[in-house]
Amino acid sequence: MLSRPLQRLGRDWAAHWNLAQRLFQNGQTYKCWKWTEYCSWAWCSHLNSQESLVSWKLSLFWNRQPHNHIQKCSIHLSPANMKSEGDEPTSKRRRYSEDRDISCSPDEQLSTTFPNETSLLSNEPQHEEESLPKPRADVIKRSWEYFCQQSKKMKILEEDKQISQDNKDLQEKFDFTVMSYNILSQDLLEDNSHLYKHCRHQILSWNYRFPNILSDIKQLDADVLCLQEVQEDHYGAEIKPSLEALGYHCEYKMRTGRKPDGCAICFKTSKFSLLSSNPVEFFRRNIPLLDRDNVGLVVLLQPRFHCKATAAICVANTHLLYNPRRGDIKLTQLAMLLAEITNLAIQEDGRFCPLVLCGDFNSVPHSPLYNFLREGKLNYEGLPIGKVSGQEQSHKGKRILSIPIWPQSLGISQDCMYEEQQKQREKEREREETKETTLEASEEIMIVAQRLPTYLHHSFQLSSAYSHYLSDSGVPEVTTCHSRGAVTVDYIFYSAARDDMSQQPEAEHIFDGGLKLLGRLSLVTEKDLWLVNGLPNETSSSDHLPLLAKFRLEE
């Protein structure tokens, strides 16, 4: 017969145990209770189930603290969010589904949240970030999309593995891949920390980020890299040596102002040799419109094999001004880049070699600036400056573009060519043409003269390697993501081969050959990115995604 104190102790223990049992059996935490390594009875896992139960009950009986024991275990099971998540929009908070670092079987993983159970089981606030379970390093799922030509229509075939070089094609065709990647300058990251409130502080350091960036470059293994926001000190100390060790030759142009970052074009020396490298500075001291320090870089590359001796490919890379309300500056910078491309890419016969134009254009798909690149023309009469890039959603930037946009002293025509080069080309045409052709050309020149005040034009037939919308759902793809949203601003444009041209067939004669799009690395939606806590995250260390496309040189 037990004494009254022991009987009372037994009743108290039973009451606590019944309460805890009801709470856990009604919630999902009960499923993983027996598995977690943090529970105090894990030391008796080598015993059979009956011995474990007896030992556990005895420990609770003698400690007389069953409720405190439950409270201790619930700290590790609670799906607490990172402290920084409280500053971001509710719709964009990190989902922790299937991300628990506990040893449950896959079908016994905890669900996203169980607030009712945790509020009952734990009264202690969790402020220490070190006590939180570390989220699993999620990887953004992107697949490779093949293209094949059938009845003049592009058919997409999605594959899980990246496209590989076909041995037969190597013997007959020249195929190469191009990557465009804004790697996020560390100085810009620190100057704009408000854009990365959703990120843990540890993953924003350069020492953490650079190995991930280099890993992306190694894995995608592009033949040509077009990198933006390449910080000068990091370029000299780490980026350039690392890329040279991978077989790349690097060309670099830093911004002209105080921001120590710029653009780089790197190519594999096993596939290309460098014919020419031309940096482009958009700053002009004597022109108030061009008081920004953005730059571009244009190179001329010669394939090392399976091409005729005169074959060359022009590759251009740029990072245009960000300011959404200054579309006049963006259009002028783009015209300056196109003028340099024209100067470098034109050949002796007057035709252009194939062109790949990459970069962060700080403009959204189907904006006036984007359409100008795709269509080769733009009537900007009455166009608000803030609408040029399509980024500005407020009522600001309503000022209309001036006519002409840039002053004549810049020396660039409305056809996005250097004035002197354009005059020389017109003289050469006049000498070669017959009298009848000259009359027709004169009529054409009159038409051109009539459109010059409000029309921009360029000579390249450009296509985008991406469609910017998912083919099955029509949901927009995105290339950049941070605390203030996600959008597409990065592009790979290319001069399409004749078989790929669906518009303006009359422009075919200006190119000596062209490029055929063989495949691309798929993009994702904004929703997909927020499922892995946006950008940057544990495995993707820039606020931009790398773009990758594969081309074939058609001669």
What was the pLDDT predicted at 102? 31
Average per-residue pLDDT in the chain? 77
pLDDT in tens, 211-226: 999 999 999 999 999 9
- Model pLDDT, residue 7: 59
pLDDT-above-90 percentage for the chain: 56
Q: Is pLDDT above 80 for 436?
A: no
Query: What's the CA gap between 252 and 231, in Å, rounded?
Result: 10
Q: What is the pLDDT of residue 15?
A: 57
User: 528: number of CA atoms within 13 Å, CB side?
Assistant: 17
Q: How far apart are CA 243 and CA 224, in angstroms?
A: 11
pLDDT-wise least confident of 120-134, 257-271, 496-510: 120-134
User: 358-405 pLDDT, tens per residue?
Assistant: 999 999 999 999 999 999 999 999 999 999 999 987 776 589 999 999
C-beta of residue 5 within 8 angstroms of C-beta of residue 95: no
Strands (DSSP E) contained in 142-294 are 144-150, 153-159, 174-182, 224-231, 248-254, 261-268, 272-281
d(CA 298, CA 265): 8
pLDDT of residue 62: 45
Note the pLDDT of residue 11. 61
Mean pLDDT, range 402-428, rounded to an integer: 91
Q: Which amino acid is at 477?
A: E
| DSSP letter assigned to residue 271 | T
- The percent of residues in the chain predicted with pLDDT above 70, rounded, is 64
| pLDDT above 50 (res 209) | yes
**The token pair that represents 374 in the structure block:** 């795709």
CA end-to-end distance (rounded Å), the chain: 101
Residue 419 has pLDDT above 80, yes or no: yes
Residue 23 has pLDDT above 60, yes or no: no
For residue 315, pLDDT over 80 is answered with yes
Average pLDDT, integer, range 522-529: 97
Percentages (nearest 5) of helix, strand, coil residues in the chain: 40, 25, 40
Q: For residue 84, give the DSSP letter.
A: G
For 161-170, write each residue's pLDDT tens digit. Answer: 444 544 554 5
Residue 306's pLDDT band (cuts 50, 70, 90): confident
Contacts of 423 (CB under 8 A, 6+ apart): none
Q: Residue 526 and residue 93: Cα distance in Å, rounded?
A: 12
Chain centre distance of CA 202 = 21
More confident residue, 539 or 114: 539
- Is residue 197 scored above 70 in pLDDT? yes
Give yes or no for residue 86 having a pLDDT over 50: no
How large is the average pLDDT for residues 65-94? 38
Give the Cα-Cα-Cα angle 416, 418, 420 (nearest 5 degrees): 140
Question: Lowest-pLDDT range, 80-84, 358-362, 420-424, 506-510?
Answer: 80-84
458-471 pLDDT tens trace:
999 999 999 999 98
Per-residue model confidence as pLDDT tens digits over 353-364: 999 999 999 999
Average pLDDT over residues 114-140: 43
546 pLDDT higher than 80? yes
> Which pLDDT does position 524 carry in this prediction?
97
- List, for residues 449-495, the tens digit of each pLDDT value: 445 689 999 999 999 999 999 989 999 999 999 999 999 999 999 99
pLDDT greater than 80 at residue 502: no
| Residues in the chain, overall count | 555
Between CA 168 and CA 165 the distance in angstroms is 9
Residue pointed to by tokens 């083919």: 471
Q: Read off the pLDDT of residues 229-255 as tens digits, 9 standing for 90 and up.
A: 999 999 999 999 999 999 999 999 999
CA distance linking residue 416 with residue 372, whole number of Å:
11
**What is the mean predicted confidence (pLDDT) over 512-537?**
94
